[in-house]
A and B are shown apart, each in its own frame.
Chain A
Amino acid sequence: MLNQIPRHLQGSKNTAFVINDKAYSYAELGVLTRQYYHYLLQHTEIKLIGISMHNDIYTYAFMTAVVLSNCGYVILNLNNPPERNNVIAQEAGLKHIVSSIADDTHTVPSFLEFTALDTIPRVQEPLSFTEPDPQSTAYILFTSGSTGKPKGVRITKQNLNAMLVAIRDIPIPISETDKVLQMFDLTFDGSVLMLFMPLCAGATVYTIDPAKIKYMDIARIMVTYPLTYVFVVPSIISLLKPLLALLHLPSITTFIVGAEATAKSRLDTIMPSIPNAAIWNLYGPTEATVCVMAYRLDANVDNELHNDLIPIGKPMPGVKHLIIAEGNVITACDVKGELFIGGEQLTDGYVNDEERNHNEFVYYDWNGTPERFYATGDIVYKNKFGNYMYCGRKDRQVKIQGNRIELTEIEYHARQITGGQAIAMVQDKDGVQRLHLFVEDYAGEKDTITQYLESHLPACMVPNDIINLKQFPATESDKTDMRKLYNEIGKDNGRQNE
């Protein structure tokens, strides 16, 4: 699939990107991509390269050049705490980083060799792309880690190609006439799908401006351009709710939700705005390359809901899947267990984390041969219609506005500053998740905790509020009573902090 991209870069006048209302043709993207691809060919020693996250054609062209080469990328968001970027760069084994902004040289991890993209020489001679090694890294994406350290998932070109082929074969059709919304941060793997799938098809990608309130810029692009193909996290629908009565979007023919559990009641609010759209729910862990299951909403959906959640659907072509409960493979309908995923989209593991690789990737029999599977931690069952249903997590991983977060990572950092107990919780209010942190008998100022967390965690992991209690409520067995703790959310806790 990725080998389709060079065909479009050959000089197509079709628009590849619309960025901050400026259109860039495939021919323009092609010039830059060739320039950067040539640079990577000249530096074959670079197997992995950091890219500073920016919303411009240079950054997207470099990402394109990387996936067409034998190199892989790691996105660094320089708005995140420097300490976190240092850890990510070290864990990934990065030595080089590029950026479209020369000034980034002052803020990237100091041990990285910095190259400004505008210093990469232009290519004079014609240049053709050759197929990259399928085992070479496409990207390493870092997700929240339960031990206080982000964990890096390595995805190969083969993994990425397998996912793009599976999406094509479901099929969720896309063509060069499509106008596609790309709303995901580049540190989030939804961006991989929404950049490279359109580029493989020769479609147009509309990106959002990270300097703006995300859902407002999504609404702006939706009312300004006749988008046809949209993928949003469900919480965006909730945030758009006050505007939905005014949004009429008949041009949208494919509307995808995913990266969080999707409630039918939430979808109901946007359906009148997208009367011509086929609605899809995509499910998948980063470890299996963005998405592994797909469900197309149909008239039977109301008979399949689980706690108002719509199905996550059926495995995509080539995806291997098992439900395991107490070590046994479940084949019966309606029996819950943990979802295990295998197949060509599966990562070969986390970087620098043998223990986790040993624990989270296991072998099970698949049609008579041992097959490697990833234990997703997601509890599911298969319903009588053959669709998988998501029921929750077996651990304390949560999704906030689509971001995958280990609550234990927040608690780990909170304990470093408070020295006492800390418990993070998520409250869903009108379909929008808010993050709350409880601390016990903390004598300092709440702002001190917030400032510490802001200096160690990405913004999406910093709690919306901190609740300081003299003592955590306990159950009869002396465990923290999480239900009572949850009920403290929204109470006037200023009093308790005195």
Chain B
Amino acid sequence: MNRAQLLQETTQVLIKVLKHSNFTLTERTTAKDVKGWDSLSHMVIMTAIEKHFGITFTLIEMVNLTDIGSMFDILQEKL
């Protein structure tokens, strides 16, 4: 799956979890850039991404995510 597709599908996952689309996702986007992506919603988002792409993040992968691009690096390795 290329990164443009990852961007499109991840956007859809976020819209579904956060119930709004008031954001434009880029590879540089971090949680702080997206309204509603906070401590309370983070694990729900991560679980939804795992489920959507059919993968599981390891603990080390999960805690070292810095932005959307770093997540795509891992997704591309796993998909």
Binding site for B on A (CB under 8 A): 211-217, 219-220, 223, 239, 242-243, 246-247, 401, 432, 434, 464
Which of B39, B59, B60, B64 has a CB less than 8 Å from the CB of A213?
B39
| Closest residue of B by beta carbon distance from A246 | B59
| Closest residue of B by beta carbon distance from A79 | B32
| Closest residue of A by beta carbon distance from B36 | A464
Which of A220, A239, A247 has a CB less than 8 Å from the CB of B39?
A239
A242-B43 contact in complex given A211-B32, A212-B30, A212-B31, C-beta closer than 8 Å: yes
Which residues on the A side are within 8 Å of B32 (C-beta)?
211-212
| Closest residue of A by beta carbon distance from B22 | A447
Supply 19 A–B pairs (Cβ within 8 Å), ascending by A. Answer: A211-B30, A211-B32, A212-B30, A212-B32, A212-B66, A213-B39, A216-B42, A217-B63, A219-B62, A220-B63, A223-B59, A223-B60, A223-B63, A239-B43, A242-B43, A243-B62, A243-B63, A247-B59, A434-B40
Q: How far is the CB of A300 from chain B (nearest CB, A)?
A: 33
Interface pair B40/A216, CB less than 8 Å apart: no
* Cα A243 to Cα B32 with chains together (Å): 21
Whether B27 is near chain A, meaning CB under 8 Å from some CB there, is: no
CB neighbors of A among B1-47 (8 A): 30-32, 38-40, 42-43
| Closest residue of A by beta carbon distance from B65 | A216
Which residues on the A side are within 8 Å of B39 (C-beta)?
213-215, 239, 401, 432
Interface pair A213/B62, CB less than 8 Å apart: no
Which among A212, A213, A246, A432 has the greatest number of chain B C-beta atoms within 10 A?
A213
Q: How far is the CB of A46 from chain B (nearest CB, A)?
A: 33
Interface size (B, Cβ < 8 Å)? 15
Q: How far is the CB of A285 from chain B (nearest CB, A)?
A: 24
* Cα A246 to Cα B61 with chains together (Å): 12
* Cα A60 to Cα B3 with chains together (Å): 40
Which of B40, B59, B65 has a CB less than 8 Å from the CB of A464?
B40
Which among A216, A219, A239, A243 has the greatest number of chain B C-beta atoms within 10 A?
A216
Interface pair A216/B30, CB less than 8 Å apart: no
| Closest residue of A by beta carbon distance from B66 | A212
Which residues on the B side are within 8 Å of A432 (C-beta)?
39-40
Q: How far is the CB of A223 from chain B (nearest CB, A)?
A: 6
Q: Mark B64-79, 1 if CB is under 8 A from A, else 0.
A: 1110000000000000
Additional A-B contact list (18), CB under 8 Å, known A215-B42, A216-B65, A464-B40: A212-B30, A212-B66, A213-B31, A215-B39, A216-B62, A219-B62, A219-B63, A220-B64, A223-B59, A223-B60, A223-B63, A239-B40, A243-B59, A243-B62, A246-B59, A401-B39, A432-B39, A432-B40
* Cα A432 to Cα B59 with chains together (Å): 21
Which residues on the A side are within 8 Å of B40 (C-beta)?
239, 432, 434, 464
Which among A212, A246, A464 has the greatest number of chain B C-beta atoms within 10 A?
A212
* Cα A215 to Cα B41 with chains together (Å): 12
* Cα A103 to Cα B32 with chains together (Å): 20
* Cα A137 to Cα B43 with chains together (Å): 41
Q: How far is the CB of A299 from chain B (nearest CB, A)?
A: 31
Which among B39, B63, B64, B65 has the greatest number of chain A C-beta atoms within 10 A?
B63
Q: How far is the CB of A416 from chain B (nearest CB, A)?
A: 22
